[in-house]
Structure 1
Amino acid sequence: MTKKLSITSIQKAKGDRPLTMITAYDALFAKLFDPIADIILVGDSLNMSFGGKKDTLSATLDQMIYHTQAVCNGAQNSFVIADMPFGTYPTAEKALENATRLFQECPADAVKIEGGQNKAETIRHLVDNGIAVCGHIGLLPQSVRGEGGYKVKGKNEEEAKALITDALAVEQAGAFCMVIEGVKAEVAMHVARAVKVPVIGIGAGNSVDGQVLVFSDMLGLFEAFTPKFVKKYLNGAELVKEAVQNYKDEVESRRFPDEIHTY
């Protein structure tokens, strides 16, 4: 990429080319992804892949600000979206207070909020006050405890209609794009066709307007389990462990540091 995407260029990508989104939580990986990814998401997934927690719910606004600052330090070209963590947007006014703080303390381009029709008023209030919003519908990780687990959506006609209603409400509230997660592929396709803004999928098939993956899943660094929707583009965990083992072997055998690496 030679030019940073704007909200307008992201919206214009719909029907033209699929958008590539990837998570990052620090400047190091953000800098690696920056020349390639259209959008970097500072996801509250950091609570799991970075913090070792079982879900995203205990991520705090302070954590999200810290990691978003780090990502923005490394990303000069990618459009950066920061997740609003659980509990920071129970009302429209509280959402504006917390999103304003995030915008003041780090140069994120937008925030992401989970929820459909029930969060339309909140999204509209943020947009009306200068906060760009990416929506998130379908499977909502912040609702996992309330729903009793991670459950695929769009399994019947009622759920399919509800998802389209959610997408339309999020669009009409002013969101410039939205993530759709854990939704049957055919239903996700109909959702994407129902709205004029890009719909970026994760576990939602190939007929939407882009894809997002958690970087540690995509690079094969997370070993506990692999969700069905994840493709590993690198066997990262094995490569890292092999490198560290080689380092250990050379330290113990005094092959490192050698003459080349000694002052």
Structure 2
Amino acid sequence: MTLPRLAQMHASGEKIAMLTCYDAAFAGLLDEAGVDMLLIGDSLGNVLQGRGSTAPVNLDDMLYHTTCVRRGVKYAFVVADLPFDSYHVSKEEAWKSAAALVKAGAHMVKLEGGGWTTETVRFISERGIPVCAHLGFTPQTVTSLGGFKVQGRDEAGAARIKRESQELVEAGAAMLLYEMVPATLAAEITAASPVPVIGIGAGVGTSGQVLVLHDMLDITQGRKPRFVKNFMAGQDSILGGVKAYVNEVKAGTFPVDAVHGF
């Protein structure tokens, strides 16, 4: 899987299936199941480290897990999160962090937020590293957002997401990711976007979907977001559960907006 192929899938309407992944064993299994993209997410702070947020995850954590995942990958496109405080001080710091993740095996890096991140995206992408820009609900700044809330519901919020999306793509972002935004807004932006748009809690109208692996396998303890579905239900193996996820994403039957709360 390559970035041009992902862009072609977006242009043709072929859905993209993405999941988080943190180790070589799962990377091989997700490859076998036909997952197009693997995200080494700073969500590892929650699901692997037992932390209450992603903020404590550092660059060394991300480098370790990116190296592990890349060892198990043969097919999928690998994206790694730039963790909190690894790209905030300067564009040069952001470049060094992104370059380290690429050296560890990432094909693309992901960072959160718009506005101030635009010039950082430009700086990184102009130097040859593809960037995915994450908008809507941004877990690294959950406190400033007032908790786990859908973003872009009102006219001003929707306009801001549209404006920031355009600015980021013009700056060189090769992919957008929307988390917890209204389905109508995500679908509208996706229809006009020159780059693939991945959704999580953003409805079925995006170019593709991503979920946290542990959530969709129903092994995350405690309450899960409304947009999560247990893909292990009715399956006799993890491989079967992941294949069920891929099949539903590809068919456009997951998520079901009316069921999953968009």
Q: TM-score, normalised by structure 2?
A: 0.86
Indicate the structure (1 or 2) with the bigger Cα radius of gyration.
Answer: 1
1:23 corresponds to which residue? 20
Residues of 1 paired with 2:221 and 2:56: CA distance?
22
* Matching of residues 184-223 of structure 1 within 5 Å: 184-223=182-221
Residues of 2 paired with 1:162 and 1:125: CA distance?
22
Check whether the contact 1:115–1:136 (CA below 8 A) recurs between aligned residues: yes
Return the match for 2:174 from 163, 173, 176: 176
Residues of 2 paired with 1:198 and 1:114: CA distance?
16
* Matching of residues 103-142 of structure 1 within 5 Å: 103-104=102-103, 106-142=104-140
Q: Which consecutive residues of structure 2, in runs of 5 or more, have no partner in the other structure?
A: 239-262
Q: CA deviation at 1:235?
A: 4.9
2:63 corresponds to which residue? 65
Question: What code does the residue aligned with 1:31 have?
Answer: G
* Matching of residues 236-251 of structure 1 within 5 Å: none
Residues of 2 paired with 1:219 and 1:65: CA distance?
25
1:100 corresponds to which residue? 99
Check whether the contact 1:163–1:191 (CA below 8 A) recurs between aligned residues: no
Question: What code does the residue aligned with 1:99 have?
Answer: A
Q: CA deviation at 1:115?
A: 1.1
**Residue 14 of structure 1 pairs with residue 10 of structure 2:** yes
Question: What code does the residue aligned with 1:160 have?
Answer: A
**Residue 33 of structure 1 pairs with residue 30 of structure 2:** yes
Residues of 2 paired with 1:52 and 1:99: CA distance?
25
Counterpart secondary structure, 1:58 = coil
Residues of 1 paired with 2:115 and 2:193: CA distance?
14
Counterpart secondary structure, 1:97 = helix
Q: Which consecutive residues of structure 1, in runs of 5 or more, have no partner in the other structure?
A: 241-263
Alpha-carbon displacement from aligned partner over 1:91-133 (angstroms, at most 9, x marks no partner): 21110121122222x1210100111232110001001111111
Q: Relative contact order: is structure 1 or structure 2 higher (C-alpha 8 Å, sep ≥ 6)? A: 2
Q: TM-score, normalised by structure 1?
A: 0.85
Runs of 4+ in 1 over 3 A off after TM superposition: none
Residues of 2 paired with 1:128 and 1:221: CA distance?
40
Q: Please tell me the root mean square deviation across aligned C-alpha atoms, in Å.
A: 1.7
Q: CA deviation at 1:58?
A: 0.4
Q: CA deviation at 1:15?
A: 3.5
Q: CA deviation at 1:194?
A: 3.1
Residues of 1 paired with 2:17 and 2:47: CA distance?
20
Residues of 2 paired with 1:191 and 1:49: CA distance?
30
